[in-house]
Structure 1
Amino acid sequence: MADHNGNASGFVVEIVTNIFKNLGHSVHVEIYPWARALSMINSGQSDRIFTIFRTSEREKFLDFSNESIVNQKIYFYGRKSDKFAFNGDFSSLHKVRIGVLHNVSYGPEFDNARSKLLIDEANSMESNIKKLIAGRIDLFPSNAYSASYFINAPGNKDFADKIVQLPVPLSAVPSFLGFAKPKRLTELRDRFDEEVVKFFASDKYSELLIKYNVGDQYLRSSRKKENISH
């Protein structure tokens, strides 16, 4: 997320910067459209990327942290006036226009059903929100933290008045930090994993949970590769 000056900020940014600080590294976090961020990592222009779901395609150019940073629940968002009822069955959405972000994974369930859905791609969350309000799409998926940030941001009262989170989540997916393979950062990745475990047991992490009022739905998963999306 970005603050009012356009600088990267938020719960996960503070987690990552604190962990690297404990490792003796200063980090500069920049925000880019997701497709561009992936391209920069793939070409070696950037060193690391977060938060990112683990997929077999991304493993070709990223060394993922083994420890997850945060657990992200993915929900659909729609217009309050439409009263969509999603029960977890994607086949019920075959005539529904769904707005997604370019090159973004929404978890294995959605990704597997994607080819059978009416997909409309955008480059930003704000674009999808505006398309939804204008009636150009019917739903868009997002992790709850990001959607809440944009919909309830100061000055976005129109968004909050018109948009609703559908109650049934699409999936709950652990999110990681990815290290660019061309940079050969596996040693740093391993040290990062060790520090993640320490940090999540620290008082500083407890302070961040309180500061950002983070609920259980965002707490990270344990280190289990069977929970990683592919």
Structure 2
Amino acid sequence: MRPLIPTLLLLLLVCLSPLAQAERLRIVSDDWAPYLFQDNGQPQGIDYEVTNEVFKRLGIEVQWQFLPWRRCLAMVEQGLADGVMDIFQVDSRLGYLVYPDEPMSEAEFVLYQARQRPHPVARLEDLAGLTVGTSPGYTYNAAFSDSPLFRREAAPTHEANFGKLMLGRIDLLVTDRRVGHYLVRQLGLEQSVEALPLVISRHPQYLGLARKPGREALAQAFAEELRRFKQEPAYAAISARYLGNQDFPFAVEQQDSGTR
């Protein structure tokens, strides 16, 4: 039997009821499989399903829109969207975003290489003279983004980066470990591509809510219900559908934090 909602959360839900009745939240993100993405025009993904369930329990309807990441950031900053999914906490965004204090998931950015063209990379200095595929609008950390030792080349999609890697147009690419693992399977590249142990950055990912009246209460209620849902078998079942039994142990080396 599901536990009773704590008194504090109940009061928050009462305060939120006018919001739930007055509007449908519009949340934007880019394709970020397996966290959230579109398949034949239908939203899917771990964080997509979890977010929908949490808001359903809060009595709030959600409308999703998938856009390039830079446009997602611009829309939420300009108040054209109510929230953005799987965003990192950055001080410069606190003026227009409210974050629940419970993260959706954790991103771990690593490098991928073609097995036929291996590169012995154990630290950033080993990237000297190479070209690394990146994603537009993503800043991984200052050490990586500002290094003069190697070239960064953005591609319009994560799939495009893997295509360029296979064609030898880039030497390596950087993406989240789970995103890379998922795409490698989807693209049938298990025997052709591998992740390197070096971690470029590691960060919790959050739902970011546009800063408006009542959003602090909504963020708190969302965090409380998200924590509760994470303890239920249904939460583990959602992750298993997208990740299977794949374990993602942390690599031994880590650089400073990055930004998505």
Give the TM-score normalised by structure 2. Answer: 0.74
Q: Does 1:179 align with 2:209?
A: yes
**1:137-216 correspondence runs (5 A):** 137-153=170-186, 156-157=187-188, 159-181=189-211, 185-212=215-242, 213=244, 215=246
CA distance, structure 2, for counterparts of residue 171 and residue 215 of structure 1 = 21
Counterpart of 2:156 in structure 1 is 123
Q: After TM superposition, give the deviation of residue 214 of structure 1 in Å.
A: 5.8
Name structure 2 gaps, 5 residues minimum: 1-32, 250-255
Counterpart of 2:23 in structure 1 is none
Structure number having the greater strand percentage: 2
Q: After TM superposition, give the deviation of residue 49 of structure 1 in Å.
A: 1.0
| Residue deviations 1:104-154 (CA, integer Å, cap 9, x gap) | 143xxx44331114111222112211222222211111112211222211x
Question: Cα gap change, 1:228/1:79 in structure 2, threshold over 3 Å: closer, same or farther?
Answer: closer
CA distance, structure 2, for counterparts of residue 28 and residue 129 of structure 1 = 30
CA distance, structure 2, for counterparts of residue 229 and residue 196 of structure 1 = 24
Q: Give the letter aligned to residue 147 of structure 1.
A: G
2:202/2:257 contact within 8 Å kept: no
Q: Whose RCO is larger (CA < 8 A, sep 6+)? A: 1
Matched positions, count: 216
2:139/2:145 contact within 8 Å kept: no
Q: Give the letter aligned to residue 167 of structure 2.
A: A
Give the TM-score normalised by structure 1. Answer: 0.83
Q: Give the letter aligned to residue 194 of structure 1.
A: E
Counterpart of 1:103 in structure 2 is 137
Counterpart of 2:115 in structure 1 is 80
Counterpart of 1:223 in structure 2 is none
Question: Cα gap change, 1:70/1:82 in structure 2, threshold over 3 Å: closer, same or farther?
Answer: same
Q: After TM superposition, give the deviation of residue 36 of structure 1 in Å.
A: 1.4
Name structure 1 gaps, 5 residues minimum: 219-226
Question: Cα gap change, 1:75/1:113 in structure 2, threshold over 3 Å: closer, same or farther?
Answer: closer
CA distance, structure 2, for counterparts of residue 201 and residue 91 of structure 1 = 42
Q: After TM superposition, give the deviation of residue 202 of structure 1 in Å.
A: 1.8
Identity among equivalent pairs (%): 24
Counterpart of 1:35 in structure 2 is 70
CA distance, structure 2, for counterparts of residue 132 and residue 184 of structure 1 = 46
Q: After TM superposition, give the deviation of residue 183 of structure 1 in Å.
A: 6.8
- Asked which structure has the greater CA Rg, the reply is 2
